[in-house]
């Protein structure tokens, strides 16, 4: 069994990413690949639904940070949804909750794009 | 003690073993997973920085479940890496400059009660300690 799979889905102009499993130094390329593909396709409104994510190491956090400037520079944003307690804790430890908007559910993250609003948390 | 090949594919083994040992030591599941994450970061640093991604090397993971603390040592025979040389974590700057180095060490320090590095007998020893409540 793979340690990480990343499914994707589009809702209008919003790209949804569904990482399932563990993101660490070994699996991060899979996640980075989907993020890069998203940007190459010109999709800059991104929701990462973390409800299937067991944990994320610094490599995964680095992948998010590595893409955010391009995303926001093109008028979009990367928003997070459905974090479990462990993943939320990691984001808070590193202060990511101040840099990224985090929503309880995917539906709320999608709604936030439809309602507009800034990119900062 | 676990001997681990210097390939990221084995990080899952390190993670699973550490988590199970931490749970057996009495930590709750979320805490045990955080400890496993800290050890994953330490092992990733060994593979990436001490061994520069070269396969065919090995490092050791030593776990000691003591009365008052849970201690994990990650030991490698690679190049000496001084974690103090890593940049201080500045998230705003990281976002604007796409810098991510140092995040792992920062994370380890936040999760564990103590993280120390020493060089002894031509080996790097990263010691991670989580105190029991």
Per-residue pLDDT tens digits for B56-91: 999 999 999 999 999 999 999 999 877 666 655 566
> For residue B75, which phi and psi values (nearest 5 degrees)?
-120, 130
ipTM, two decimals: 0.86
Q: What's the rounded mean pLDDT across residues B1-27?
A: 96
CATH number at residue A97: 3.30.750.24
CB-nearest partner of B103 from A24, A61, A85: A61
Residue A121 neighbours by CB distance under 10 Å? 13
The pLDDT of residue B14: 97
Nearest to B70 by CA among B14, B116, B22: B22
Q: Is residue A121 part of a domain?
A: no
- What is the band of B1 on the pLDDT scale with cuts at 50, 70, 90? confident
In the predicted model, is pLDDT for residue B24 greater than 80? yes
**Taking each helix axis from N to C terminus, what angle separates B103-111 and A58-73, rounded to the nearest 10 degrees?**
130
Q: Is residue A119 part of a domain?
A: no
Per-residue pLDDT reduced to its tens digit, A35-90: 999 999 999 999 999 999 998 999 999 899 889 989 999 999 999 999 998 899 89
* Strands A102-103 and B58-65, sheet pairing: unpaired
In the predicted model, is pLDDT for residue B45 greater than 80? yes
Total domains, chain B: 1
Q: In this structure, what DSSP letter does residue B48 have?
A: I
CATH number at residue B20: 3.30.565.10
List beta partners, residue B69. B131
Interface test with A, best of B16, B37, B59, B88 (most A CBs within 10 A): B37
Domain region containing B114: 2-131
Which residues in chain A touch residue B32, judged by CB atoms under 8 angstroms apart? none
Interface test with B, best of A30, A32, A36, A57 (most B CBs within 10 A): A57
Q: Mind telling me how many Å the CA of B35 is from chain A's nearest CA?
A: 11
In the predicted model, is pLDDT for residue A1 greater than 50? no
In the predicted model, is pLDDT for residue A31 greater than 60? yes
Of residues A45 and B97, which shows the higher confidence score?
A45
Q: Is residue A30 part of a domain?
A: yes
Q: Is residue A41 part of a domain?
A: yes
In the predicted model, is pLDDT for residue B6 greater than 90? yes
Q: Is residue A77 part of a domain?
A: yes
The pLDDT of residue B99: 52
- What is the band of A119 on the pLDDT scale with cuts at 50, 70, 90? low
Tokens standing for A62? 């680095």
Interface test with A, best of B4, B33, B45, B74 (most A CBs within 10 A): B33
Domain region containing A17: 4-114
Give the burial class of A101: count Cβ atoms within 10 A of its Cβ; 0-12 exposed, 13-18 middle, 19 or more buried. buried
Total domains, chain A: 1
Q: Which residue of A has its CA nearest to B95?
A: A65
Tokens standing for B128? 């991670």
Interface contact flag, A55 B33, Cβ < 8 Å:
yes
Q: How far apart are CA A51 and CA A4, in angstroms?
A: 13
Contact B40, A95 (CB under 8 A): no
Q: Which run of H or of E encompasses B22?
A: helix B11-24
Contact B105, A93 (CB under 8 A): no
CB-nearest partner of A94 from B12, B34, B91: B91
Q: In this structure, what DSSP letter does residue A78 have?
A: E
The contacts of residue A71 (CB under 8 Å, 6+ apart) are A39, A44, A46, A77, A78
Q: How far apart are CA B47 and CA A52, in angstroms?
A: 27
Interface of B with A (CB under 8 A): 8-9, 11-12, 15, 30, 33-34, 36-37, 40-41, 44, 47-48, 89, 91-92, 94-96, 98, 100, 103-104, 106-107, 110-111
Distance of CA A57 to the CA centre of its chain: 14
Burial readout A46-74 (b: 16 or more C-beta within 10 A, e: otherwise)? bbbbbeebbbbbbbbbbbbbbbbeebbee
The pLDDT of residue B31: 94
Nearest to A106 by CA among A4, A7, A1, A5: A7
């Amino acid at each position: 069994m793979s340690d990480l799979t990343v499914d994707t889905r589009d809702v209008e102009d919003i790209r949804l990413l569904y990482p399932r499993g563990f993101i660490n130094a070994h699996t991060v390329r899979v996640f980075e690949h989907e993020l890069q593909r998203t940007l190459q396709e010109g999709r800059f409104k991104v929701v990462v639904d973390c409800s299937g994510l067991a944990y994320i190491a610094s490599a995964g956090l680095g992948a998010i940070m590595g893409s955010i400037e391009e995303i926001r520079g093109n008028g979009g944003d990367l928003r997070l949804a459905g974090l479990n307690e462990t993943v939320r804790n990691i984001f808070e430890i590193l202060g990511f909750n101040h840099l990224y908007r985090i929503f309880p559910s995917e539906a709320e993250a999608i709604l936030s794009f439809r309602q507009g609003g800034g990119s900062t948390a | 003690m676990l001997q681990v090949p210097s390939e990221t594919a084995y990080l899952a083994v390190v993670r699973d073993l550490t988590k199970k040992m931490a749970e057996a030591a009495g930590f709750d599941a979320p805490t045990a997973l955080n400890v496993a994450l800290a050890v994953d970061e330490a092992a990733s640093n060994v593979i990436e920085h001490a061994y520069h991604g070269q396969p065919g090397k090995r490092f050791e993971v030593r776990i000691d479940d003591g009365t008052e603390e849970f201690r994990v040592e990650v030991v490698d025979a690679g190049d000496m890496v001084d974690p103090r040389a890593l940049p201080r974590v500045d998230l705003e700057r990281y976002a604007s400059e796409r810098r991510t180095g140092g995040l792992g060490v920062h994370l380890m320090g936040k999760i564990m009660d103590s993280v120390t590095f020493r060089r002894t007998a031509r080996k790097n020893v990263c010691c991670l300690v989580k105190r029991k409540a």
